Structure 1
Amino acid sequence: MRIKRLFKKIIAVLLLLVTSVLVYSLIPRVRNIDPEFQTELEYGEPIAKEIKDILTPKEEPERIRSIVILQDEKVVYEYGPTDKIMNTASIRKSILGLLYGIAADKGLVNINKTLTELKIDESTPLTNQEKTATIKHLLMYKSGIYLPSQGEHDSQITDRPIRESYKPGDYFFSNNFDANALGTIFMQETGISIGKFMEEHLAIPMGFQDFSKQNVIVGDPWFWPKKESKHEQYYIYLSTRDLARIGAMVANGGHWNGKQIVSKKWIAESITSYSNLKKNRINYGRYDGFGYQWWISSNTKTVWADGYGERFLIINPNRNLTLVEQNFTGNSFLSTGLWLMNKNMDSGLGNLIKVHQMITLKE
């Protein structure tokens, strides 16, 4: 009898444990909300049918995908759940670059300060040479600091240079240390969380429709294996329609709906290339330059934010044109895990590039 009762207790405990894990795995990291400050996007003349047909899938895509195209701040094409908040992945870095511009203009941040002056170090202590890197070097991916960092993948690991092989400012390397340390420094220097600053200085004045400060998470809330680092990865969740607003604002020199959100000077500096990537030992594909956390394609006169999981923000400042594609990569431990298990990224980038060419040639 005792063994039977013990067995039942063990089964009950196991069932409770399994249920708890299942419930936990289903909890979303962030939730869609209806902010009080939201404003509706305006609609312009839709793109031509032959262009629209290129973007609109003939069959339901394997993944949840949404696309928005804005021209002169007006929607000319949209597809999918454009209000669904999604992890922007590395697009977060370009957004933080804009927040640095706002903070610098307010005198909260000096981008010429060195890591020594900022008292920034790492779990693996930085060398004296590495500490001469400035915030500006980090914004340009030229810190000369080559250490493991949270969220890094692919060439960030396999092509990482040897420590102190380049001095700060000498060599471009797409490095998550730089991006994550920029998050640490931003919060340290402003005394404000990234989410709160973004809500106050981007979301509210631009009337984001699906954002709150809780959409920015510093440190992974799930138990993914992490690299030991003093600089946690931060996550920014945005709907495609809100992300498109950001792109349109950059395309228009920091201006949105009659307001100067980011100074024209900072936008100009941000989308100026400080590196010739064609001469870099690593092939960065379509990109031949890099600004302050923005990729540059001089061939198409476009500025890009690029996130893992096939999400793209393409900006053509000359045409005041913004094209955005996002693919849903999960918003809970379970949905994110299922996405990671499926290697098919199911991207429509080729069609997005083709449509950009057709729109610009048509004008």
Structure 2
Amino acid sequence: MLKRVFFSSMFILIAVVVIAALPRVSNPEPASQTELDRAKFNSDAIEAVWPAPKAGDRIRSRMILRGEKVIFEDGPIDLIMNTHSMRKSVLSILYGIAVDKGLIDLDKTLHELAIDEVTPLTEQEKTATIRDLLMFRSGIYLPAAGEHDSQITDRPKRGQHKPNEYFFSNNFDANALGTIFTQETGYQIGTFMDTYLAKPLGMQDFNANNVIMGDPWFWPSKNTLHLQYYMYLSTRDFARIGAMIAQGGRWNGKQIVSQDWIALSTAQHSDLTDNHIKYTVYDGAGYLWWLDSKNGRIWTDGYGGHFMLIDPVRDITIIERNFTGNSYLSTLRWLKSDNKFSHTRSGLGAAHKVLIENLE
């Protein structure tokens, strides 16, 4: 009897460990993938201001592209990582493609779209348009899946601002945009992204399964109608997206997203100098993009140390990623790390300054 209990317990323990270690997303081998070209560049000056992680540090990867060519890389650039809030900027691109195809009308209101929430939206909140949500100006201040930090502590009171009156970076707008996208296009986000973005860009580590709908691990679940969408991308695939933006929506001689959408979505629609955002590097926001107008830079970032800087004038893309887990065990390991937030966007800014000095 004791032997049976022992072996049963061991079987359950092994099963739990195996399940906990299984990756949520596996590296695909897309038939449409293409290798990135490389160009020679002396990276000593880059390393001096943007040092590689020390032994035992986080799993981090970095890349710099000039045009469509890699001039600097470090770390596992093919490792699939959760993009966290960088997902929002990718969704902005997908919206642009859908708008170009006539699938989405940005001026439709939530009332016209029949979008609501578990806590019913007010008549004022329902007047918000898709465009308002893309600008984080919906005027809807409700709890949302995956929110954290200032999204909770700085949230205005409900009804405090009308739609398009005030910028507030929140997950309700972002997650509701995911719901609206699938409703209006008839596509799942992953399928649309694979067809109209990943394949044209020749992404090497992506297919439709890299986008998952549902609550994040280790985050409290929220009672909501709008699920958070996860996007898992490798550094080298995300760098392609940045390079495409830097080139006005073009990649390999083809227009992937219209120049009009790139210009519209990366234009300043909100002035952040008097707002809840405390990041001094950003002074404006577009359609789910952060802006540094002083230096002519476009940014996207995500929780846990994910940053991408785009300089369209000089055709430069700089990206840094931090592995925050791809299984229960690896995510828990990252959450318990004493060094999970050790690096900041300042390294990318310093590298950008060095590039300007060396490339011009």
Pair in the same fold by TM > 0.5: yes
Counterpart AA for 1:307: G
Kept after mapping to 1: 8 A contact 2:146/2:216: no
Q: Secondary structure in 2 aligned to 1:318?
A: coil
Paired with 1:138 and 1:31, the residues of 2 have a C-alpha distance of: 32
CA–CA separation in structure 2 for the residues paired with 1:202 and 1:188: 19
Whether the 8 Å CA contact 2:53–2:60 is kept in 1: the answer is no
Instruction: Name the counterpart of 1:286.
Output: 281
Of the three residues 260, 269, 276, the one matched with 2:271 is 276
Residue 282 (structure 1) shift = 4.3
| Equivalent-residue separation in structure 2 for 1:75 and 1:283 (angstroms) | 32
1:156 to 137, 151, 156: 151
Q: Distance in 1 between matches of 2:318 and 2:251?
A: 16
Counterpart CA distance in 1 for 2:278 and 2:208 is 36
Residue 227 in structure 1 maps to residue 248 in structure 2: no
Aligned to 1:357: 353
Which of 306, 328, 334 pairs up with 2:329? 334
User: What displacement does 1:341 show?
Assistant: 1.9
Structural mapping, 1:56-71, within 5 Å: 56-57=51-52, 59-60=54-55, 62-71=57-66
Does structure 2 conserve the Cα–Cα contact (< 8 Å) formed by 1:56 and 1:79?
no
Which blocks of at least 5 consecutive residues in structure 2 are unaligned? none
Shift, 1:53, TM fit: 4.1
Shift in Å, 1:349: 3.3
| Matching residue within 119, 122, 132 for 1:124 | 119
Shift of 1:22: 1.4
| Structure 2 CA distance for partners of 1:261 and 1:61, relative to 1, 3 Å | farther
* Structure 2 Cα separation of the partners of residues 289 and 239 of structure 1: 27
Contact 1:29 1:221 survives alignment (8 Å): no
Q: How big is the shift at 1:57? A: 2.4
Report the AA paired with residue 352 of structure 1.
L
Q: Give the aligned partner of residue 97 of structure 1.
A: 92
- TM-score normalised by length of structure 1: 0.95
Deviates more, 1:124-133 or 1:10-19: 10-19
Which shifted more, 26-35 or 171-180?
26-35
Residue type of the partner of 1:203? A
Match of 1:80 in 2: 75
Alpha-carbon distance in 1 for matches of 2:270, 2:67: 29
CA distance in 1, matches of 2:91, 2:43: 34
Q: What amino acid is the match of 1:354?
A: A
- 1:294 maps to amino acid: W
Change over 3 Å in CA distance of 1:244–1:148 after alignment to 2: same
Q: d(CA) in 2 for partners of 1:146 and 1:59?
A: 41
Most deviating of 222-231 and 73-82: 222-231
For 1:62, the aligned partner's letter is D
Query: Of 63, 85, 109, which residue of structure 2 is paired with 1:114?
Result: 109
Matching of residue 197 in structure 1 with residue 192 in structure 2: yes
Deviations 1:120-163 (A, max 9, x none): 00011111100111110000000000000000000000111100
Residues 86 and 72 from structure 1, CA distance in 2 versus in 1: closer, same or farther, beyond 3 angstroms?
A: same
Cα RMSD of the aligned pairs, angstroms, is: 1.6
CA deviations on 1:67-92 (whole Å, 9 max, x unpaired) are 11001111110001111111111000
Give, in whole Å, the separation in 2 of the partners of 1:250 and 1:92: 15
**For the Cα contact (< 8 Å) 1:277–1:284, is it kept in 2?**
no
Give the structure 1 partner of residue 9 of structure 2.
14
Q: Is the CA contact 1:35–1:211 (under 8 Å) kept in the aligned structure 2?
A: yes
Q: How many residue pairs get matched?
A: 358
User: Residue deviations 1:162-200, cap 9 Å, x none?
Assistant: 001000000000100000000111011111111110010
Give the letter for the 2:347 counterpart: N
User: Residue 212 of structure 1 aligns with which residue?
Assistant: 207
Deviating above 6 A after TM superposition, structure 1's stretches of 4 or more consecutive aligned residues are: none
Offset of 1:346 from its aligned partner? Answer: 2.7
Note closer, same or farther for the CA distance 1:214–1:177 as it changes in structure 2 (3 Å cut): same
Does the aligned pair in 2 maintain the 1:61–1:346 contact within 8 Å?
A: no
Alpha-carbon distance in 2 for matches of 1:206, 1:347: 29
Q: Paired residue for 1:296?
A: 291
Q: CA 1:177/1:78 → structure 2, altered by over 3 Å: closer, same or farther?
A: same
Q: How does 1:305-344 map to 2 (within 5 A)?
A: 305-344=300-339
Change (3 A) 1:148 1:221: closer
Superposition TM-score, scaled by structure 2 size: 0.95
User: Separation in 1 of the partners of 2:257 and 2:78?
Assistant: 24
**Structure 2 letter corresponding to 1:95:** V
Q: Distance in 2 between matches of 1:196 and 1:133?
A: 27
The whole-number CA distance in structure 1 between the counterparts of 2:331 and 2:61 is: 17
* Aligned counterpart for 2:342 among listed residues 342, 346, 354: 346
Which letter does structure 2 place at the counterpart of 1:24? I
- Distance in 1 of aligned mates of 2:48 and 2:218: 42
